[in-house]
Structure 1
Amino acid sequence: MSTAFLMPTLVIFGMMIAMSASALAALYWATQDGQFVDIEKNAECIFDKDEPIGKCTDYFPGQAPQPPFNNGK
């Protein structure tokens, strides 16, 4: 085998091992820190009182639903 083939292969496998180890470390930290204990509560923590859960309040410009036209009444 030539070193032209061997070096990139070693670099790729080294990166794969490093990324896998960091993913496993993050998973271990999350389980030890209690991130998976109450998934529903953690999923809803991004909402506040002004934004009801399940109702979309963020829209791209020009795509928000238009309020009904009441003709000034």
Structure 2
Amino acid sequence: MSSVDLAVLATVVGSVVLFGGAVVLAMGWAFRAGQFENFDRGSRSIFGADEPVGESTDAFPGESA
């Protein structure tokens, strides 16, 4: 293996370790913060009080909803 091959390998392995560690830390934070406790409440949070849940109210211009 040449020095360029080793540099590329070290960069790839280092990136995998770095980003993998970031994912583990982010998932740990999400579990500790309770982000995965109530999916139903989170899924309904995007609807307004007067908007029907589960029904499409948006349409492309020129089409009816």
User: How does the TM-score come out when normalised to structure 2?
Assistant: 0.82
Larger relative helix fraction: 2
Query: Can you give the 5+ residue segments of structure 1 that lack an aligned partner in the other structure?
Result: 67-73
> 1:19 maps to what in 2?
19
State the Cα RMSD in Å. Answer: 1.6
Unaligned runs of 5+ in 2: none
Distance of aligned partners of 1:57 and 1:25 in 2 relative to their CA distance in 1, 3 Å threshold: same
Number of residue pairs matched?
Answer: 65
After TM superposition, what 4+ stretches of structure 1 lie above 6 angstroms from structure 2? none
- Looking at structure 2, the residues matched to 53 and 25 of structure 1 have their Cα atoms a distance apart, in angstroms, of 34
State the match for 1:35 in structure 2: 35
Residue 2 to residue 29, structure 1, CA distance change in 2 (3 Å)? same
Normalising by the residue count of structure 1, what TM-score does the alignment of the two structures yield?
A: 0.75
